Each structure stands twice: as structure tokens, then as C-alpha cells.
């Protein structure tokens, strides 16, 4: 027994002694990133890289991590982007820019950890100045947590990011939880809008996002082509463009999205609730996607599916004779409860055209579901247990072309009043 105890202690001591910690140095008024990059090669394995609490760090240049194995990045201090817009634009516009301000190149067992202290662990992007001037030239993406196997993103806090926040392209077995994004403009002028401040862009396999709080001006979640087994739950989204799949199939590309579950999410004053978007002429398949237990308040389009997506800021729909489209199969919208913002004067801050990019011809503003589908491309799409009212008290409506569906979609497929059918009633399985 004594020998066994000694062996255990020896192993534990070896593990501890084999772990390194690098405290990122700080100099007031200077860029702190060169000090990190100069040392990172010695701490890319079995290490903690610590931005320590009580220090306001200057992230004046981008960070590109090498391949990491068994590494934890701990952001317990505050980090600040440059406040000068031209400085960032010059960096982003250069050929050496890695693509994001914080870029992970790959690795195994990597944790990006913030702080539970409400005053520390913030990354300040100083996005307000960009929003005030509607400056969208050479904006940086935020955090590219890419090509990581067995990764964790937890307790991160982003304050006024310039634009796109987290991207997980090419990663597998990821758990992202207890993160907070606050991309909210303090300027009462509606033109000072936080454009393109997407929350999580999920691209990869086997990912769980939970207990995240996102206030922004674009997709709360967007699931891109190649994503499989994505689970997003128990979260809060405010002010953005919803829980989105796509866009898929742009330029005729082949899309592949499978096994996505989005559940137990509160949507507050968002443009969309659940959203799917694919381009005319696209190819491929999005399959087995469920949005469940979605509570919404002040949402314009609670459920919106379009296979006719285009960049409306660039003009009218393109002239296309293609009958191709990304196919959708086994889509379920289940237990949506809330209130539709059907104001006749509805305006969302990302509108910069007339009509606005989110304009739907023929829509009344009272639609709880819009299915804008291509014929022979949608199989088993159902909206079930939908309980919605409008702010005005007027009857809830839907938009749906019956020639584009082959199954009971859960309501009478028409442009008109929302009338649940057998497949859409609580407690009825079909």
C-alpha cells in the first residue's frame, strides 16, 4: 500500500512538474502581443498562457497561435483592441493578416477560458466608433477557434466587438458554454448599427453550445456547410438575426449540413427566430434539423425558410433558370411560443435599402411561419405546437405555396390565416 501511494505521488509530481505557465507581460501604453508571440513557441504544449487579473492588456496586433496540444489560454485580465480605426484597417488589409484578430491554427485539448468575475476577462473591440461611422472597410473577424480537436470555449466575454465573433471551422468535439457577447450600440441614432456581429459561426463536427448570452446585430448562431452534429441550447439571443442555417449553395456550391438541434432558447427583439437560407442554383442537402422550445418576444419573423436567398443589398434577385437548389429534409419547428412584432412601421437597424433587405413581398408582418420553397426540394418539413399572438392583436398569418410541399406541414399551407392541421397539433404524432 505504501509503495502504491508513493508511485501515485510520483506520477502526480511528474505531471505537475511537466506543466508550464507563461504570464503574459504588460507595459502601459505598449502593445503586449509581441511579448506573447516571442515566447509562445516554448509554451505550445502542456502549458497555461495567462493574461492575469488586474491587468489591462493591449492587444494592438493580431495573435496567431501555433499548433497547440494540451494548452489553456486563460483571459483573466482585460484585453483591448486598438481604438484607432485606420490602424486596424492597415493590419487587416495587409497580406500578412491571419484572417482574425485571435487565430488558432489547430491542435488538441485546447481551452480558451475567460473569467467569472464580472469586471475582468473582457475583450473590448471598441466597435462603437466603427458603428457610428458605418465603417465596414477592412474589419477584422474576432476569434477563429479553428481545427481544434477536443476544444473548450468558456466564460469568455466580448464587449462591443467590431464585427464577427466566434468561428469554429474545422474543429471537432467542441464545448462552448457560459460565454457573453455584448454588441449593443449606445448611440440612439439607428444608423449606428452593429453590422455583421455574428455570435457563433458553427462549422465542424460534434459541437455543444450552451448557456450563452448573445446581444448583437446579426445571426446569434449560424451553421455553415460541412457542419454535423451541432447542438445549441439553453441560451439567450437579443437584437440579431436569429438561429440560422446557411446561407448554403452560393454560386452552385454543394452544401452538407446534418443533425442539428437547437432548443430552449429565448429570442428577444430579433429580426428572425428560426431561419434557413439557401441560394437558387445551389446543390447538396441539409438534413435532420430541429428547432425546439423557442420562446420569442417582439420578433418579426419567428420561423422563416427561404430557398431563394440572394444579397438584396446588391439589387434585385438574379435571373436564374436553374432548377437546382439545396435540398432540405426532416426539418422540425416545434413548440414556438411568443409574440410577433407586426408593427406597420417596423424597422430594423441593418436596413440600408428601400425596400429593406428583409422585405418579403406580400407579407403582412403577422406571419409566424414563412416557407419560401422550391418545388421537389423539401421533404418532411413540419411546424408543430406553434402558439403565437401579434402585438396588435390581429390574427396570426402564414405564407406557404402548397405546390412546393408534399407533406402536412403542420398548418394549412396558404398565404393567409394560420390554421393548424393534424401534424401541427400538440400530442398528435403523424
Q: Which sequence positions are flagged as catalytic?
A: 218, 241
SS3 of 227, please?
coil
- φ, ψ at 320 (rounded to 5°): -135, 130
Neighbours of 282 (CB within 10 A): 25
Nearest to 104 by CA among 59, 52, 160, 169: 169
SS3 of 138, please?
coil
344: DSSP letter: T
How far is 59 from 387, CA to CA, in rounded Å? 47
231 neighbors 261 (Cβ within 8 angstroms): yes
- φ, ψ at 280 (rounded to 5°): -60, 135
SS3 of 178, please?
coil
411: DSSP letter: B
How are strands ordered across the β-sheet holding 100-104?
Answer: 63-65, 100-104, 141-145, 166-167, 200-202, 221-223, 243-248, 272-279, 301-309, 367-372, 397-400, 416-417
According to DSSP, the residues that pair with 73 across neighbouring strands are: 49, 112
Neighbours of 376 (CB within 10 A): 12
How far is 317 from 357, CA to CA, in rounded Å? 11
51 neighbors 76 (Cβ within 8 angstroms): yes
How far is 397 from 370, CA to CA, in rounded Å? 9
Computed from CA positions of residues 309, 311, 316, 317, in that sequence, does the dihedral angle turn out positive or negative? negative
296 neighbors 338 (Cβ within 8 angstroms): yes
How far is 422 from 426, CA to CA, in rounded Å? 9
Amino acid at each position: 500500500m505504501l509503495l502504491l501511494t508513493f508511485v501515485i505521488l510520483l506520477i502526480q509530481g511528474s505531471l505537475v512538474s511537466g506543466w508550464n505557465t507563461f504570464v503574459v507581460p504588460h507595459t502601459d501604453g505598449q502593445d503586449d502581443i509581441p511579448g506573447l508571440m516571442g515566447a509562445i513557441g516554448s509554451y505550445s504544449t502542456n502549458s497555461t498562457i495567462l493574461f492575469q487579473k488586474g491587468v489591462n492588456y493591449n492587444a494592438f496586433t493580431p495573435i496567431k497561435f501555433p499548433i497547440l496540444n494540451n494548452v489553456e489560454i486563460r483571459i483573466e485580465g482585460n484585453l483591448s483592441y486598438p481604438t484607432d480605426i485606420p490602424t486596424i484597417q492597415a493590419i487587416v488589409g495587409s497580406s500578412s493578416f491571419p484572417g482574425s484578430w485571435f487565430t488558432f491554427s489547430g491542435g488538441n485539448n485546447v481551452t480558451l477560458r475567460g473569467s467569472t468575475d464580472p469586471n475582468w476577462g473582457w475583450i473590448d473591440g471598441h466597435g462603437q466608433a466603427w458603428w457610428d461611422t458605418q465603417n465596414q472597410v477592412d474589419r477584422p473577424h474576432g476569434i477563429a477557434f479553428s481545427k481544434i480537436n477536443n476544444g473548450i470555449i468558456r466564460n469568455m466575454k466580448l464587449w462591443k466587438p467590431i464585427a464577427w465573433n466566434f468561428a469554429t471551422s474545422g474543429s471537432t468535439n467542441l464545448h462552448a458554454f457560459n460565454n457573453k457577447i455584448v454588441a449593443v450600440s449606445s448611440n440612439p441614432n439607428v444608423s449606428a448599427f452593429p453590422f455583421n456581429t455574428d455570435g457563433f459561426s458553427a462549422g465542424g463536427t460534434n459541437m455543444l453550445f450552451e448557456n450563452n448570452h448573445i446581444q448583437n446585430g446579426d445571426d446569434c448562431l449560424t451553421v455553415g456547410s460541412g457542419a454535423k452534429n451541432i447542438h445549441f441550447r439553453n441560451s439567450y439571443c437579443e437584437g440579431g438575426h436569429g438561429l440560422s442555417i446557411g446561407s448554403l449553395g452560393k454560386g452552385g456550391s454543394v452544401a452538407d449540413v446534418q443533425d442539428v438541434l437547437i432548443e430552449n432558447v429565448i429570442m428577444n427583439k430579433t429580426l428572425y427566430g428560426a431561419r434557413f437560407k439557401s441560394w437558387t442554383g445551389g446543390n447538396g442537402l441539409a438534413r435532420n434539423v430541429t428547432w425546439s422550445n423557442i420562446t420569442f418576444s417582439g420578433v418579426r419573423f419567428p420561423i422563416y425558410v427561404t430557398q431563394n436567398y440572394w444579397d438584396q443589398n446588391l439589387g434585385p434577385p438574379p435571373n436564374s433558370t436553374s432548377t437546382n437548389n439545396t435540398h432540405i429534409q426532416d426539418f422540425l419547428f416545434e413548440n414556438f411560443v411568443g409574440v410577433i412584432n407586426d408593427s406597420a412601421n417596423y424597422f430594423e437597424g441593418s436596413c440600408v435599402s428601400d425596400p429593406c433587405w428583409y422585405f418579403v413581398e406580400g407579407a403582412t408582418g403577422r406571419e409566424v411561419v414563412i416557407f419560401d420553397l422550391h418545388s421537389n426540394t423539401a421533404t418532411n418539413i413540419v411546424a408543430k405546437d406553434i402558439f403565437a399572438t401579434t402585438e396588435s392583436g390581429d390574427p396570426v398569418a402564414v405564407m406557404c405555396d402548397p405546390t412546393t410541399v408534399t407533406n402536412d406541414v403542420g398548418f394549412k399551407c396558404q398565404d393567409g390565416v394560420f390554421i393548424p392541421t393534424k401534424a401541427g397539433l400538440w400530442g398528435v404524432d403523424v
